[in-house]
Amino acid sequence: MTGDGAWPLANPARPRQALRRTLERIDERYREHFGLAPVGPLLYVGLERHDGAPFALGDGTRLEPGAWIGRLHFNNARAAAVDAESRLQAGVRFARLLRDSFGELAERARAEASLQQVVLFEGITWLRAHGGQVGFDAQPLPHGVRRWLLGVHFRLLIWAFAPVARGSAMLEVVPHRFRISRRALLESFGATRRARAANRAPPAGATR
């Protein structure tokens, strides 16, 4: 109690800090359990076989039962904690980190024997559905307990790590499954694509 008889206010940062530590430990245990390896600043990848029904992506890639999948896990704490002063700035910086991560994934998919057999890569995140122009297929998870639990988890991440993305961002959380075929990954993020982009860039000091 303070000298004027009032109770001191609790430090509002403490619950957030405690939640951050808890979520980081959960994420760490998840990565250890599934043997996920880091790829760039925002991704982890593991391997598993597809045990569902056959299906095809828009580019014609077919996934058959038993085919290898690259299971992607986003570094959720890093994604939510992008240093920025506004949602727009956070989005631009996040996009750059994500592009770097998929560029590294494309290079490893091309060079590493363990990833050369992967037919497609997929992961689940709360990020808005986008990326169709570079080969991503994004579908909201079906309604049910899993979607609800993931929604709660993602909202906790935003509250704990993303001070510029609270409020409306909490209401916009819809867990989506993102998929990209090996072909689209290499075409959109591989070294050849980056070389073409570099060749199109104007020389230093040039104006348009």
Report whether pLDDT(38) > 50: yes
Q: Are strands 68-74 and 118-125 parallel, antiparallel or unpaired?
A: parallel
CA-wise closest residue to 80 among 154, 9, 180, 176:
154
* pLDDT for the residue numbered 68: 95
Q: How many helices and strands in the chain, by DSSP H and E?
A: 8, 8
What percent of the chain is modeled with pLDDT above 90? 43
Where along the chain do its domains lie? 17-50+63-191
- CA dihedral of 181, 184, 186, 187, whole degrees rounded to 10: 170
Average the pLDDT over 188-203 and give the result.
58
The residue with greater pLDDT, 80 or 68, is 68
Average the pLDDT over 137-160 and give the result.
90
* pLDDT for the residue numbered 85: 62
Q: Which amino acid is at 150?
A: L
State the residue for tokens 């359990």.
33
Residue 196's pLDDT band (cuts 50, 70, 90): very low
The residue with greater pLDDT, 3 or 26, is 26
pTM of the model: 0.76
**Contact predicate 54/136, CB 8 Å:** no
Distance CA 177, CA 174 (A): 10
